[in-house]
A = this chain, B = another copy of it.
Amino acid sequence: MLSKNTVKFIKSLHQKKYRISSQRFFVEGEKSVLEVLHSNFLVETLFATTQFLEKHEGMLSRMNLEIQEASQKQLEAMGFYQSNDMALALVKMKENLPIIPEKGDWVVALDDVRDPGNLGTIIRIADWYGIRKLFFSNQTADFYNPKVIQASMGSFCRVDFSYGDLFSWIKNYEGPIYGAFMDGENIHGFQEIKAGVLVMGNESNGVSKEIESLVTQKLAIPSFGQAESLNVAIATAILCDNLKRLEKH
């Protein structure tokens, strides 16, 4: 039986300030919960329906985990999405450790990407392209926002990330720094490219002037029609696809 206080606590985690003060977040939905259980995140409590617990009994019995049975209605009341019919995991946030790229590593760096849906989608794209290191400016959306977790489709478990001052971080980085700009060089014209940092800018303003001054190669996605721009997650996908295609080892 779930206590009122438990429900209240999980619901408080919809808000960033309570996530920060408790250093906890939650993951909902069968697929994402299974991913987080098998990741290097520490799951403290699993709230799940009888159905979920029976289905995954063997796997769960091998885990050191507090389990609380909950009805679908209770899960939906605690979570963010209304179609969570299986499980919700209470998870400990990771420490904000520095991202240290090695030679040959790609890093996606976000300069104030504010929309949680965009951030989650970018995490999924980075994971698809095998880019495991992400750096987020302090004004970027919160990684632990339920919308980010949901949009990442489990990829939040497979990336390393760090929040911090993007300007200082890039200043200390020694490899090539690529950035997405409307007036950049056409990415289709490149023959080869070396791994480095790809900076993607804010939804309305793009890459800031300050960060722009550190970019060593501006890149543009060629347009063949009349749309004025592309969404930042779409642009990230197209650039990652080109960069991985052009990368020589």
Contact = CB atoms under 8 A, between A and B. Distances in A.
Give the oligomeric copy count.
Answer: 2
A129 interface: yes
A125 interface: yes
Contacts of A129: 223-225
Contact of A231 (B124, B223, B228, B245): B124
Nearest to A122: B234
Interface stretch (A79-87, A206-214, A235-243): A235-243
A92 interface: no
A42 B226 CA distance: 20
A155 interface: yes
A237 to B, nearest CB: 5
A222 interface: yes
A240 B11 CA distance: 41
A228 B153 contact: yes
Contact count band on A:
20 to 34
Contact of A125 (B188, B222, B234, B241): B234
A242 B188 CA distance: 9
A128 interface: yes
A225 B121 contact: no
Contacts of A149: none
A124 B237 contact: no
A32 to B, nearest CB: 12
Interface string A113-140: 0000000010011111111100000000
A180 to B, nearest CB: 13
B121 A224 contact: no
A127 B230 contact: no
Contact of A130 (B126, B130, B224, B242): B224
Contact of A233 (B124, B153, B225, B234): B234
A108 to B, nearest CB: 12
Interface string A215-228: 00000011111111
A147 interface: no
A127 B238 contact: no
Given A221-B241, A225-B158, A230 B188 contact: no
